[in-house]
Amino acid sequence: MSKSTKYIFVTGGVASSLGKGIISASLAKLLQARGYSVTIQKLDPYLNIDPGTLNPYEHGECYVTEDGAETDLDLGHYERFLNTPTSQANNVTTGRIYQSVITKERKGEYLGKTVQVIPHITNEIKDHIQILGNTGEYDFVITEIGGTVGDIESLPFIEAIRQLKWENHEEVLFIHLTLIPYLAASEELKTKPTQHSVKTLLEYGVQPDILVCRTEHHLNKEIRTKIARFCNVELEAVIESIDAETIYDVPLLMQEERLDEVVLKHLKMPLNSTADLKKWKEFLYHHKNPVQEVEIGLVGKYVELKDSYKSIAEAFIHAGAANQCKVKLKWISSEDLTVENVEKELRGLQGVLVAPGFGTRGIEGKIEAVKYARENKIPFLGICLGMQCAVIEYARNVLGMEGAHTVEIKPSTPYPVIDIMQEQKSVTDMGGTMRLGAYPCELKEGSNVYKAYGKKEISERHRHRYEFNNSYLEDFEKAGMKATGVNPENNLVEVVEVENHPWFVGVQFHPEYKSTVVNPHPLFLAFVKATIQ
Ligand code: GLN
């Protein structure tokens, strides 16, 4: 373990979905605002190697990092809060741990030993936790353990962090996030579930240093004292986490509760710095006090589960605040969108976004939405599959290419305007084999995207197998759909725009992954601006 890096582990108890990711990100923000370098890691107890092969219904959005890792959506929160990139090392699943242990076993690296959960799996977990610390870049590595304490599947993770604490007493801190339920009938907050959850942790040899208590009502001194006494923590280490209006309030609430101070004290670090949250507060002010409102339709196939489009929704929050504008999203199910009802569904919207996606379901609805936005001159942003739909729509309805399609959905189409990428043709495995991560793109001067970014060379993250078919490029450009962003190395079309339209942009990449609180994404900024006009 590198001497200077401190490790903070965040576990969860009583119930899932208490917001470990947001608490981790908020603490990281506070430490960062005091001048420390911080990164956050998520350990997920499931057996998939990564969430790339998971349906969004299972696990929400798959977030993609600069280095092309397909990760848990919490990494999106980490980047949005900290404004620093994460990487493959920031998200580790049980599947990945086992994969690497089994690979070593097959290579004979365990020298004839029986390979076991303890020590081999736990050692592998400990190594993965320390990869980030060993870079020497960070004062703090905050590691969030997915799942709820007591789950069978997270046991090896808990055992690994117990060992780390035992080996490096001074460098390790445990935070346990728990729930204090309110019984309306008796008008009481109950601490028993928390006591039990801490007891379970103690059975595994882990004594939490700090308890962050999710609650709907303020915790008074009496309740705090009771929790402290029964859970064996100091009174000041009982931190209230009351339900917040937005996730972006949480760092400020944690600051009020002095979470960062308690952490620093425990780790025997100086308290002389103060957290500078000026920019954060400015953002929050504009987010909560917009001077105008626009409504944008988000057309996708997973709209019942808003976590599927988490980064897009957050990017609108960032871009909205910067434009002093509330962006109201109308979630529109592409599957239910038809020629007959598209007008009724989209009329009156100031903008339309067609979302990324895979597969057949809802594709024709997405194409109808593009057509409506194009013909009615409504500002439009198409992302990945959304861009591909814009190309298909233009081919069919402007270029007269009847039956034009993407070969992903209709391999026999007479006009394969979206085709499989050369490098994807031989791919048979599904996991981690798409075109992933950051690639360069060169923008055409004078285009809307160029105006948005204010520069020619950009780099954006990708997650796709199909691409614009360049053999049709000339036809498209003649007819008014221009390629205004192109990969300079291989000529892949990255951006298309339609002429004689106020703002019609389709991008093969995913701008939403790079939007953060202090750095709203230029394309979302420009799109929101266009919807205001
Ligand atoms: N399914 C499309 C492709 O693989 C688009 C992917 C996406 O929208 N992320 O190219």
Question: What are the tens digits of pLDDT across the range 79-113?
Answer: 999 999 999 999 999 999 999 999 999 999 999 99
Mark 175-195 as b/e (b = at least 16 C-beta within 10 Å).
Answer: bbbbbbbeeeeeeebebeebb
Q: Is 285 exposed, middle or buried (0-12, 13-18, 19+ CB in 10 A)?
A: exposed
- Please report the atom of ligand 1 found closest to the CA of residue 463: 9
- pLDDT value, residue 4: 86
Q: How far apart are CA 129 and CA 123, in angstroms?
A: 10
- pLDDT value, residue 424: 84
Q: At a CB cut-off of 8 Å and minimum separation 6, what does 187 contact?
A: none
User: How is residue 332 written in tokens?
Assistant: 């529109």
Dihedral angle of Cα 531, 438, 70, 129, to the nearest 10 degrees: -120
Binning pLDDT at 50, 70 and 90, where does residue 421 land? Answer: confident
- Please report the atom of ligand 1 found closest to the CA of residue 357: 8
In the chain, what is the straight-line distance between the N-terminal and C-terminal CA atoms, in Å?
A: 55
Q: Is 467 in the pocket of ligand 1 (CB under 6 A)?
A: no
Active site residue 62: no
Residue 299: left (phi > 0), alpha (psi -120 to 50), or beta?
beta
Q: Is 358 in the pocket of ligand 1 (CB under 6 A)?
A: yes
pLDDT at 3 over 70: no
Strand order in the sheet with 405-406: 405-406, 416-420, 466-468
User: How is residue 190 written in tokens?
Assistant: 């109950």
Which one is predicted more confidently, 275 or 219? 219
- pLDDT value, residue 47: 95
The position carrying tokens 């725009």 is: 497
Ligand 1 centroid distance, CA of 440 (Å): 18
Written in H, E and C, the secondary structure of 339-373 is CCCHHHHHCCCCEEEECCCCCCCCHHHHHHHHHHH
Active site residue 384: yes
pLDDT at 17 over 90: no
Closest by Cα among 356, 391, 381 to 463: 356
Q: Is 384 in the pocket of ligand 1 (CB under 6 A)?
A: yes
Asked if residues 209 and 259 have their Cβ atoms less than 8 Å apart, the reply is no
pLDDT at 2 over 70: no
Region 17-27: mean pLDDT is: 95
pTM of the model: 0.95
Listed in sequence order, the DSSP H helices in 289-328 are 310-322
Catalytic residue (choose from 231, 384, 389, 441): 384
Region 432-459: mean pLDDT is: 96
- pLDDT value, residue 425: 84
pLDDT at 271 over 70: yes
Beta bridge partners of 495: 485, 507
Residue 348's alpha-carbon distances to 211, 297, 436, in angstroms, are 48, 10, 36
Q: How far apart are CA 81 and CA 76, in angstroms?
A: 9
Mean pLDDT of the chain: 95
Binning pLDDT at 50, 70 and 90, where does residue 427 land? Answer: confident
Q: Examine residue 119 and say whether the peptide bond preceding it is cis (omega within 30 degrees of 0).
A: yes
Active site residue 499: no
Closest by Cα among 10, 160, 124, 129 to 77: 10
The phi, psi pair for 204, rounded to 5°, reads -85, 0
Q: Is 72 in the pocket of ligand 1 (CB under 6 A)?
A: no
- pLDDT value, residue 40: 97
Q: Is the dihedral of CA 14, 16, 18, 24 positive or negative?
A: positive
pLDDT at 160 over 60: yes
User: How is the chain split among helix, strand and coil, in percent rounded to 5?
Assistant: 40, 20, 35
Which one is predicted more confidently, 480 or 302? 480
Region 352-381: mean pLDDT is: 97
- pLDDT value, residue 1: 52
Which one is predicted more confidently, 272 or 342? 342
Model pLDDT for residues 321-339, shown as the tens digit of each residue: 999 999 999 999 999 999 9
Binning pLDDT at 50, 70 and 90, where does residue 191 land? Answer: very high
- Please report the atom of ligand 1 found closest to the CA of residue 355: 8
Region 199-209: mean pLDDT is: 97
